[in-house]
Chain A
Amino acid sequence: MEVKEVKILSAKFDIKNAHKIETAKKHGAYSTLDKLFSMKPEEVIEEVKNSGLRGRGGAGFPAGLKWSFLPKDTGKPIYLTVNSDESEPATFKDRYILVKDPHMMIEGIIICCYAIDCHESFIYIRGEYTSQVEILQEAIDEAYNAGYLGKTVDGHDFKLEVTVHRGAGAYICGEETALLESIEGKKGQPRSKPPFPAVEGLYGCPTIINNVQSIASLPFIMEKGADAYKAYGTEKSAGTHLFGISGHVEKPGMYELPLGLPLLQVIDTVAGGVWKGRALKGVIPGGSSTPVLLPEEAKTATLDYESMAEHKTMFGSGGIVVLDETVDMVELVQNLIAFYHHESCGQCTPCREGLGWMLKITEKILSGEGSMADIDLLRELCDNIEMKTVCVLSAACTMPVRSYLDKFRHEFEAYIQTDPSPHKKQEQASP
């Protein structure tokens, strides 16, 4: 496969004013609706299933399959919630869609809602996206005025309301059940599962929660068909993905690539390679919660769900972070735990108490006060906390921390053996 950018989701990203409905329509927005309404909802679900589209929020659950879990004839309304919380550090793909081509997502919402018989949809957007929410709301207003949303979608006998709900800045509200709690006006804390949202979600009704990018992929699948989508990517990881490449590369940015490309080649050819001619120390493949890859592991890894799982990490959200040789992994871990500790909702014991403890232990090691036992304790706590909690936030912290401890243990030990660490000493010497 050629390591080269493709333009499916990002087709209109470079077009000026594509967030405006006139421009967007000129370039094909809402053109799939006639075809959509000529199909049966089951046929739409089948088409999406066939396309192999997987949830782009991080977990990679097949989108069409998720829709088919909705219970039939409950007498309750079905809701669609679009997860635009995008709060995973190093992830910035959805904001491009929200800002550059919001009508693609709105069209996707119409497609999804028609398929699952939903007439009320919510877009949960993270609180920090202040300018983005304005553009999004403007696009929704345009869509209402143009008749694509409201009582009769595009003149068809189909009602659809779309409401934007702004978060207040909590990472955990990206977790789908915390997101639902937040929309309901409660404290954003994850619910115990089961019941899963498809059965009992928003206001106790069956609810589908999809990521922005998953929804935005639908117009292409409708227009060109499942096979055209499957032509990109690998057999099990079909399609394209927006990758946010950041960290120590020459050309950081957002790139759309088919799934399955070799990780290192992407870094070298698409993102210009490690900056300043430095050596590569590690790669975070899909947002801060994914376990780090060593350079030799990165050599064999490809950008798809299966390869990442084989390398004992996760594909995640497409937020690739390149770490060069100067990175202090202990400081990185401290930064990482500090984030997840700060964002722990505080509901359940292991995460609430454990992440704070892990942070303090790491700080102790960083300050030169640590001992070998502290490293072992930190490593043990990763196991003790993970999967004992209501949601996976704790795992989002312990999985990467475990990977740094296992792969870069010598750096932690160095802090204990040479007290304080060499570069800390330098800082202290020259204030």
Chain B
Amino acid sequence: MSDMVKLFVNGVEVEVEAGKNLIDAVGAVGIEIPHLCYHPALGADGNCRMCLVGIEDGRPPLVPACKTPAQEGMKVLLDAEHIKKIQRDVMELELINHPIDCPVCDQAGECSLQDYYMDYDQRESRMTVAQVNKNKKMDFGCGVVHDQERCVLCGRCVRFCREITKTGELGIINRTDESRVNIFPGRPLENRYAVNVVDLCPVGAMTSSDFRFQQRVWFLKKSPGICHGCSKGCNITIDHNRQKYEDDIIYRLRPRLNQQVNGYFMCDEGRLSYKQQNENRVTQVLIDKSEASINDAIQSCLAKIENSSSPLILVSPNCSLEQLVAIKALADQIDAPISGYSDGYIKAGDGDDYLIQDDKSANRAGLNLLEIDTTKAKFEERLATADLLINFDNDLSLSYSDTELKEMLSDTVIIALSSQKNYLTDLANILIPLAAYSEYAGSLINCDNILQTFDKALSKNAPLDDAAIVAAKLGGPMKNATDIFCELQKLIPALSNTELQNIPAEGLNLNNSEASNVTA
């Protein structure tokens, strides 16, 4: 805990963190100071002038809160009439050249300018002269579409490209009210985090070509989640909605703040990974390519397991810890070896030194924790002698070509439990659809050994079982969440005295404390 100082806001004493700027310091105790250009990840710029506050007895008496550190005894004025007037006046100036696009603007509903207008202005326009006209639709590349007229020139996007990605594609050209954000001719956005500028934009000037005009944001349900796109486990908000007569589907993913994992941002690839949750899903139970009921399929599986002399269980590195525990218990029960071979999920050299990891799976650390073998040699050796492969959602087509797979699996019975269609689901003798990660709750360990939990986000019209439930149905001994958690507590000492719901929101760093003594 850093040092605290006492200061006064509107005459009321509050205790805030020393050294933080006033927006953050006072914001932490629930007092809002309006701001457009300031963003905690990008620092203070001081250009929007929305955060001007009065400092009683101070020199100067009027300061931008974003650039003013909280100091002991400071008397901050926010609700004084002259400060309210400044906020109104600056709002008016922000708005005079701002088009009233709200009815067609994607940002409407989550727009700072809209919110501040309601909170701080609420006056009729006095603009009786022509507005400045600028470019309404510019393709900036990487799926970012820019509207110069809506732009408030806060420069967050420019600073993001300079300070975070260090690629510097964006700049503000021209002076006066002809200022506009632009790219250099022929040099569009070219970085793997570009779409973050859409989140950063406090107004609707930056829109994502993927999300543009798809949904009004007030219809979206915002559920927290963890991105499964790579082993970083970026915290996300899953924005989903069930439109009338339709299923509950995801419309976009947005990064969610977690200072321990991803900060404020996520990569573009992860952001678009929601499509795998919506599209190309396995939804129909198939036995020998004919539609069947889930009960028939389970019965059929049980018979195949019963008759098998050497079954092999394969798990996905994306399975949650809970699923892995349940599946491993099933393997022990039926005396089958278990493999987590998934080299195809690793794209060597693809990662960077920021968020993106080589390993495109979410829980490889979990496989290691449960001592599930992931070597190619062992997998192939066991597969060669196996007569039954029970595959829990491991996309083998990432590790092998289709011809290789056909060859390897030619005389093996395949039970595929899968959320996504792939080559293996085509080959399967029995195919059972599984829930995707947005449809169940669980926990993961990321590449930095941080344990994070996530909740179920979507409620599908026809809910699918997740891998842990299917494992139980196939005869696994872990029948409920309590059993599974008890097992997890044995595996992870850091969990021994806690409940799953008590895991901190920022995740549990297993490198710290007694967790470092985890015997792998």
Contact = CB atoms under 8 A, between A and B. Distances in A.
Interface of A: 170, 172, 187, 192, 341-350, 352-357, 360-361, 363-364, 374, 377, 384-385, 387-390
Contacts of A356: 97, 132, 176-177
Given A353-B97, A360-B129, A388-B89, A342 B175 contact: yes
B179 A352 contact: yes
Contacts of A172: 175
B390 interface: no
A342 B90 contact: no
Contact of B86 (A354, A377, A388): A388
Contacts of B178: 346
Interface size class of B (residues with CB under 8 A): 20 to 34
A187 B45 CA distance: 14
Given A344-B176, A384-B89, A384-B93, A349 B67 contact: no
Count chain B CB atoms within 10 A of each CB in A170, A192, A344, A352 and give the residue with the most: A352
B169 interface: no
A350 B47 CA distance: 9
B358 interface: no
Nearest to A352: B177
Contacts, number: 89
B24 interface: no
Contact of B49 (A344, A350, A357): A350
A346 B67 contact: no
A357 B93 contact: yes
Select the residue from A192, A343, A345, A363 with max chain B CB neighbours within 10 A: A192
Given A192-B46, A353-B94, A346 B176 contact: yes
Interface in B398-450: none
Contacts of B44: 192
A346 B175 contact: yes
A381 to B, nearest CB: 9
7 contacts: A341-B177, A349-B49, A352-B176, A353-B94, A360-B129, A364-B129, A388-B89
B49 A389 contact: yes
Interface string B83-96: 00010011011101
| Residue of A192, A341, A353, A360 with most chain B CB atoms under a 10 A cut-off | A353
A175 to B, nearest CB: 13
Given A342-B176, A348-B48, A349-B49, A192 B64 contact: yes
Chain B at the A interface: mostly helix, strand, loop or mixed?
Answer: loop
A341 B93 contact: no
Nearest to A348: B47
Interface string B167-187: 000001011111100000000
Given A348-B47, A349-B47, A389-B49, A341 B176 contact: yes
A346 B179 contact: yes
A384 B97 CA distance: 17
B130 interface: yes
A170 B175 CA distance: 10
Contacts of A377: 126
Contacts of A360: 129-130
Nearest to B88: A384
B164 interface: no
Contact of A347 (B47, B50, B129): B47
A360 B97 CA distance: 12
B176 A354 contact: no
Contacts of A345: 175-176
B2 interface: no
Nearest to A387: B62
A342 B97 CA distance: 16
Nearest to A342: B176
Contacts of A341: 176-177
Contacts of A352: 153, 176-177, 179
Contacts of B86: 388
Interface string B114-156: 0000000000001111101000000000000000000011000
B52 interface: yes
A340 to B, nearest CB: 9
A343 B50 CA distance: 22
Interface string B19-41: 00000000000000000000000
Given A192-B67, A356-B176, A388 B49 contact: yes
Contacts of A347: 47, 153
A347 B174 CA distance: 10
Given A377-B126, A388-B86, 12 more contacts: A170-B175, A343-B175, A344-B175, A346-B172, A346-B174, A346-B178, A348-B47, A348-B49, A350-B49, A354-B93, A356-B97, A356-B177
Nearest to B127: A357
Given A342-B175, A388-B89, A357 B47 contact: no
A354 B153 CA distance: 14
Interface in B55-98: 62, 64, 67, 86, 89-90, 92-94, 96-97
A172 B175 CA distance: 10
B129 A349 contact: no
Contact of A346 (B93, B126, B130, B153): B153
Contacts of A389: 49
A339 to B, nearest CB: 11
Contacts of B129: 357, 360-361, 363-364
B93 A350 contact: yes
A79 B249 CA distance: 61
Contacts of B50: 349
A345 B50 CA distance: 18
Contacts of B177: 341, 344, 346, 352-353, 355-356
B38 to A, nearest CB: 12
A344 to B, nearest CB: 5
A363 B50 CA distance: 28
B349 to A, nearest CB: 35
Contact of A390 (B47, B92, B175): B47
B217 to A, nearest CB: 25
Give the top 6 A-B pairs by smallest Cβ distance, nearest first. Answer: A346-B179, A360-B129, A384-B89, A356-B177, A353-B93, A192-B46
Contacts of A388: 49, 52, 62, 86, 89-90
A388 B172 CA distance: 21
A347 B303 CA distance: 73
B90 A350 contact: yes
Nearest to A170: B175
A178 B321 CA distance: 56
A192 B47 CA distance: 9
A357 B96 CA distance: 8
A350 B48 CA distance: 8
Given A349-B94, A377-B126, A388-B86, A355 B176 contact: yes
A361 B128 CA distance: 8
Nearest to A172: B175
Nearest to A171: B175
B292 to A, nearest CB: 64
A172 to B, nearest CB: 8
Contacts of A342: 175-176
